[in-house]
Amino acid sequence: MAASNIQSKVKAGLAKAVKATGSSASQLVYLVSNDAQQSTPLNPQAGRETYILLPNAVFKSYDAKMFNETILAGDRMLVSDNDTAIKQGDTISQGEWFYKVVSVDIKAPTSEALVYISQVRLK
């Protein structure tokens, strides 16, 4: 089975999960991209935020048994498709809530990512 076929199945599964668990009033999930990250001391940039929609992103809570030094109470898991790469340190927005990406597990059995599983923490 080709990677693109698997990727489309993952997207369809996540879209189905979003539809099943959300409602018309559900807040959308965005990756907040800040172009000030390309700023240097010699060329400071003001930084403009861009919101990139993650249409197939689903939040999941961690089981309390998993809390330890790295997973804290209140942390959430974000599962998203491969359309938008998620990196450690990124900011995720849902409505009025902003989360910092603490860690990312990229599921990529080959060189192409299938899904990003991110641990996020409320800012």
Note the pLDDT of residue 117: 96
Question: Against a cut of 0.85, is the pTM above it?
Answer: no
Note the pLDDT of residue 38: 61
Give the chain's mean pLDDT: 86
Q: Are 6 and 114 in contact (CB under 8 A)?
A: yes
Of residues 4 and 78, which shows the higher confidence score?
A: 78
Contacts of 13-19 spanning 24+ positions with Cβ under 8 A = 14/56, 14/57, 14/58, 14/79, 14/80, 14/81, 14/115, 15/55, 15/56, 17/58, 18/55, 18/56, 18/57, 18/58
Question: Per-residue pLDDT tens for 3-60?
Answer: 778 888 888 888 888 888 777 678 999 999 876 556 666 766 666 789 999 999 999 9
Note the pLDDT of residue 25: 72
Q: In whole angstroms, what is the distance from residue 16 CA to residue 80 CA?
A: 12
Residue 76 has pLDDT above 90, yes or no: yes
Identify the structural domains of the chain with CATH numbers, from first to last. 3-122 (2.40.10)
